[in-house]
Amino acid sequence: MHKAHAKNKASTSFFALLFAAGLLIGAIATFYITFQEVTEISAEIAALKSQLSNLSGDQNSTYQTINIYQNATAIADIYENVRESVVLVQGTTSDGGVQGSGFVYNLSGRMVVITNYHVIHDTSDVSVTFSNGNGYPAAVLGSDPYSDLAVLSVDADAKEFKPVEIVSSSTLRVGEPVIAIGNPYGLVGSLTTGVVSALGRSIMEEDYAGGYSIANIIQTSTPINPGNSGGPLLNAVGKVVGVTTAIVSDSQGLGFAVPSNTILREISALVDTGNYEGHSYLGVSGQDMSYYVAQEVDASVTYGWRIAAVTVGGPSEGKLTIGDIIIALNDIPIRNNDDLASYLEEKTLPGENLVITLVRGSSTINVTVVLGRRPEPSA
């Protein structure tokens, strides 16, 4: 009896062990199959991701190719639309022949050519040659050395004039594409492209502008070489936003242009009176502030424009003094000479009151100056 019970108990234990072993083997088999399936699914997912990435890359490449093609086509179309408006300006000086560029503009029904002042300065026998090779005598209607602008009349057949449209430069932004067309080194009808690199620059021109800055200038990566001067700077739709100038020598990688706002502001006066008398005059000279200048003069600000001299008899005499640091004009912050010169050029006129915020010693004060008219250059 005890032996039978022991035998049955042993049999039960054996079957239980066998059952447990079966479960373990089944679990291992299931895990293996599941692992294999997961591995295969993971491989398929990786392959799909790779295909999707390749498709996306091909799509981006296609978009880039289309964009490049569209941009190139747009530039080519702009060139075709504008090239007949760009002219070659030539003249004679005591040193020999000079040449530059210009473009045709319709001023209230009168066809004129716009170019740079330095192209026609002290020049005789001025002529204009159109893109078809036809040349005609030209006369200077008006000029402004302070903005490096000149306007010419041309004794040519009406069919020669293909005017361009000038639009405001106020909406220009750094990074926008621009196009220059001109005659660099006599290579007629050359096109170069770039972007707006900076706005509100000022450039110094000793020979033509009497040592005053030419203010509110557009800086561009578009190459501007001798002969380009006076040609149009165009926006992405072929409208004039500036007049290119190669007035600054050795400016590798830098191009400059007088903004179209300056043209639009001055052109009527240049044609009607021969000059422009709207340049404001503060009658001071100075330097940009910086951290190092502030340390040197023990100033409390590192920005602004520090006065180094006040012109005797000028608008600022008795109002401003050496060492004053201009930090705002009419509540507009001034960081440096570019800001100061551009604000005076773009936003003020002679005879207007100008509220100057300045740092004098340890105090910040407001001083009002009645702006004068800039004297004629001595050159």
What is d(CA 354, CA 356) in angstroms, rounded to the nearest whole number? 6
257 closest CA partner among 149, 135, 99: 149
Cα angle at 172 between 170 and 178, to 5 degrees? 135
User: Is residue 148 flagged as an active site residue?
Assistant: yes
Looking up tokens 């007035």 gives 247
Residue from 101, 127, 147, 148 carrying the catalytic annotation: 148
What is d(CA 176, CA 161) in angstroms, rounded to the nearest whole number? 29
CA atoms within 13 A on the CB side of 245: 31
What is d(CA 318, CA 284) in angstroms, rounded to the nearest whole number? 12
What is d(CA 200, CA 317) in angstroms, rounded to the nearest whole number? 27
What is d(CA 320, CA 347) in angstroms, rounded to the nearest whole number? 21
- Integer-rounded Cα Rg, in Å, for the chain is 36
User: Is residue 118 flagged as an active site residue?
Assistant: yes
What is the chain's length? 379
Residue from 85, 101, 147, 229 carrying the catalytic annotation: 229
Identify any residues that bridge with 363 across adjacent strands, giving them in sequence order.
360
In the structure, how many helices (H) and strands (E) does the chain have? 5, 20
DSSP character at residue 345: H
What is d(CA 98, CA 180) in angstroms, rounded to the nearest whole number? 20
**Termini Cα distance of the chain:** 138
User: By CB neighbour count within 10 A (0-12 exposed, 13-18 middle, 19+ buried), where does 193 fall?
Assistant: middle
For the record, the structure tokens of 234 come out as: 């165009």
Residue from 101, 118, 279, 339 carrying the catalytic annotation: 118
Residues serving a catalytic function are 118, 148, 229
